[in-house]
Structure 1
Amino acid sequence: MAENLKIAQPSLVLLHGWGLNSGVWQGVTALLPAAYTLITPDLPGFGASRTFPASYSLEQVVAQLATQIPDNSDVCGWSLGGLLAIALAKHYPHKVARLGLCAASPCFLAAQDWPGMQAKVLQQFAAALSDNIAQTIQRFLAIQAMGSEHARADIQHLRQTIAAYPLPEPAAVQGALRLLAEQDLRSWLSTLSQPVRGCFGRLDSLVPVAVVPKLQALLPNAKFTVV
């Protein structure tokens, strides 16, 4: 009888970043081991997920995501997805066995004691969104690739991977930008019981590498890698 029992594969959940969709993981998923059941949900209002909370509050967005995540999953979030992954680990700890952060921060806006984006950058994005969402997202992709030796090819690849999905809902894009501007989850991150791993880019202009020692101070047992 024991021979007929199947051991369930662990789930790996990948949460994409602001303005994009699950297609952005296309180049990564092919490299992941088959031992995982891979889940790449679109954030509420992005990609194929057209339903989202009207207020786009952190609590409601995370509650909607939690319905798509099996218990005891490894959850890795990029950028905004990382912020949401921290909130998931805090409020739905049974969902998150291990937490991964990819170019993500518990506090994206720069403060006197914390490296991050300048407020004027987020304000510029917010103003541009009302004029042309597609163009603003293209600009965001360009910023993501800054410093890369293959920036043009990187941007083109990202464009192609997300183009298979519709543009995000305008209200969701604005709401998600507010999350990046307003949320500070440092106190939550420091109290998590789950193991935490992080990967950061040396030339990242949106989540500066200077945030790594700050994160290490919050989470002495975590492991962070700079590439």
Structure 2
Amino acid sequence: MSRPTVVLLHGVGLDRTMWEPTADLLADRFTVLAPDLLGHGRNGPAPAGTTLEHLALDAAAGIPPGSHIVGFSLGALVAQYLALHRPELVATLTSVSSVCRRTPEEREQVFERLRLAHTDFDAAVSASLRRWFAGTGVGAEWVGRTEATLRANDVESFRNCYRVFATADADLAPDLHRITVPAMAVTGEDDPGSTPDMTRRLAAALPDCGAAVVPGTRHMLPVQRPEAVAEHVTALIGDSTHA
């Protein structure tokens, strides 16, 4: 009997390496895939006009049917799109540090970050690192690796993908109720962007979705608390298989 496949989709400006701590915890039970999204890592740049559909269909080319999809931040929006439009690929859906139905104030905050990425990319990177890691106790090696990944981005490609991240939750919102696969939404208690309120909104919008808030954590759950992410993914897959 073949092992279930778990597909890990990363956040904007990052690459597959952010999943290493979580993937190591899952690899003894599952076949783990971590493709780079369009515009990231080993994939090609994301051109002007890139949409969530472009990112999702590019990712879909490497996803076997019936996979357990785990998306982080931008990757969570890609995963939700796949659950809506390519449901044959998605057996379960785990959204980690996902935005959902931003309020006007929350939308203005993310557009302010997008404007900073256009006017001062280096400052935008530094602000992201503070927002993700300040006070978390994550080691300097991981912070440094993340910084190097962010600064290595093609800047225009990054901006094109960040615009998708800033807008796609509004595009997805009217159809979230159509995602019927077993799902889980997980975020950090102290995440200032993908807040606990957003996780609860997402869980309420999906017909079969639980919500979990990990105490004492910020945005980069797969690095700060990979065991929590792995536990929720494993529990969701186990529950769905049993059902």
TM-score tier by shorter-chain length is 0.7 to 0.9
Give the secondary structure class of the aligned counterpart of 2:7: strand
Alignment partner of 1:194 out of 181, 193, 203: 181
Q: Could you tell me which runs of 5 or more consecutive residues in structure 1 were left unpaired when the two chains were aligned.
A: 1-6
RMSD: 2.3
Instruction: Confirm or deny: 8 A CA contact 2:15 2:149 kept in the other structure.
Output: no
Instruction: Report the Cα distance in structure 1 between the residues aligned to 2:74 and 2:156, rounded to whole angstroms.
Output: 16
User: Which amino acid in the other structure matches residue 169 of structure 1?
Assistant: D
1:48 aligned partner: 42
2:156 alignment partner AA = A
What is the aligned partner in structure 2 of residue 66 from structure 1? 60
In 1: Cα distance, 2:131 partner to 2:37 partner: 21
- Is contact 1:22–1:162 with CA below 8 Å preserved after alignment? no
Aligned residues: 212
In structure 2, the residue corresponding to 1:35 is in which secondary structure?
A: coil
Deviation at 1:123, TM superposition (A): 3.2
Residue 125 of structure 1 pairs with residue 113 of structure 2: yes
SS at 1:125's partner residue?
Answer: helix
Hey, what does 1:178 align to over in structure 2? 163
Matched AA of 1:174: R
Structure number, greater radius of gyration: 1
CA distances 1:22-53 after superposition (whole Å, capped 9, x unpaired): 11112222211422111111111111112435
What is the distance in 1 between the residues matched to 2:17 and 2:65?
24
TM-score by length of 1: 0.83
Q: 1:167 is matched with which residue?
A: 152
- Deviation of residue 127 (structure 1)? 2.9
Paired-residue identity, %: 26
The AA in structure 2 aligned to 1:137 is V
* Cα deviation code 1:182-201 (max 9, x no counterpart): 22212222111211012111
Task: Summarize deviations over 1:80-119 as a string: whole Å, max 9, x none.
Answer: 1101100011111111111001011333x324xxxx7341
Work out whether residues 122 and 177 of structure 1, in 8 Å CA contact, stay in contact via their aligned partners in 2: no
Amino acid corresponding to residue 188 of structure 1 in structure 2: D
Aligned with 1:106: secondary structure? coil
- Verify: 1:213 aligned to 2:200, yes or no: yes
**Which residue of structure 1 aligns with residue 103 of structure 2?**
110
Residues 72 and 47 of structure 1, relative CA distance in 2, 3 Å threshold: same
